[in-house]
Amino acid sequence: MDVRSVTSPTMPRHGDAVVNLPTVPVEHGVRADIEIRTRPTVSLVIPARNEASNIAWVLEQVPDCVDEIVLVDGRSTDATIVTARSVRPDIRVVHQEGVGKGDALRAGFLASTGDTIVMIDADGSMAPQEIPHFLYYLSHGYDFVKGSRFMAGGGSLDITRLRRTGNQVLMRLASRLYEAPLTDLCYGYIAFHRRYLDYVDLTTTGFEVETRLVISALQSGLRMTEVPSMEMPRRYGKSNLRVVRDGTRVLRTLLRTHENGVSGYAVQRARAWAHHRQTPAVTAVPAVTSVAAAPSTPSAGS
């Protein structure tokens, strides 16, 4: 798998592919060389549920390179939608029908229209100012770009010791199983070309969705790279993340989709054995045949 970690403190502005038109005759001082600059359109997908205290800050930081913002609202009971529209009247609001972060992202991806899709959280933990950094590598040959808190230039001001340990264990397992030198696994700052939407798995519903996106991109042969990202503390409110519960779901996701090599065979055999043990045995019930009662025989002497 082609996964490369890169750092780039400075970079050109995103997009700007130059198309040179055929040379035309010079008339009245008009330049003979005409250049038309075009760039892919960018959709930013933000899943949110009761983030009225945070969404305004996030939307105010979105850079001009983003053409469309899709807010997926998960049945918020606060003023999330009203606040978002007051900051960005052009925002598109999608009402989530299912539950879970994975379901929200799926709804947002399908509703977006940009050539490039970027996903971030609504709690202020991810800086929208980093978006051009992701787009730069998408415009220079990569198909799928993910943020990393644990490579040079990245970091986290929010992660606990337990979360860091769990992420490192899961990340090393993923790197071993899928032969990809990852430095971060459970981080949801991701960007990819829309043309690969059919190749990323959107079937998971919970917080393990980031892991499933990465694994499906690797299995589909997408050219992937990591870029440094700084995770900030959630600005207001309490996170819905549950370390043990969601970590277990990530582990199941890693094992469920690993099928390559000897280890893949062993994992799938173990899963099949465990499934067989959990399936209750069905006891055969003998068929009952109804026999008509024989007419009674009169006793002798009756």
What is the Cα gyration radius of the chain?
A: 28
What's residue 280's pLDDT? 58
Domains, in order of start, for the chain: 3-261 (3.90.550.10)
Q: What is the full per-residue pLDDT of the chain (302 aa) written as tens digits?
A: 556 655 444 444 444 443 443 444 444 444 444 445 588 999 999 999 999 999 999 999 999 999 999 999 999 999 999 999 999 999 999 999 999 899 999 999 999 999 999 999 999 999 999 999 999 999 999 999 999 999 999 999 978 888 888 888 988 898 899 888 899 988 999 999 999 999 998 888 777 888 999 999 999 999 999 999 999 988 887 766 666 776 788 888 888 876 654 344 444 545 454 555 565 545 545 555 444 444 554 544 44
What's residue 272's pLDDT? 54
Q: How far is CA 260 from CA 61, 177, 212, 256, 274, in A?
A: 42, 8, 16, 12, 19
What's residue 5's pLDDT? 54
Is the pTM higher than 0.75? The answer reads no
Handedness of CA 151, 154, 155, 159 (dihedral sign): negative
What's residue 4's pLDDT? 60
User: Which secondary structure element, helix H or strand E, spans residue 250, and what is its range?
Assistant: helix 243-256
What's residue 286's pLDDT? 54
What's residue 204's pLDDT? 83
Number of H helices, E strands in the chain: 8, 12
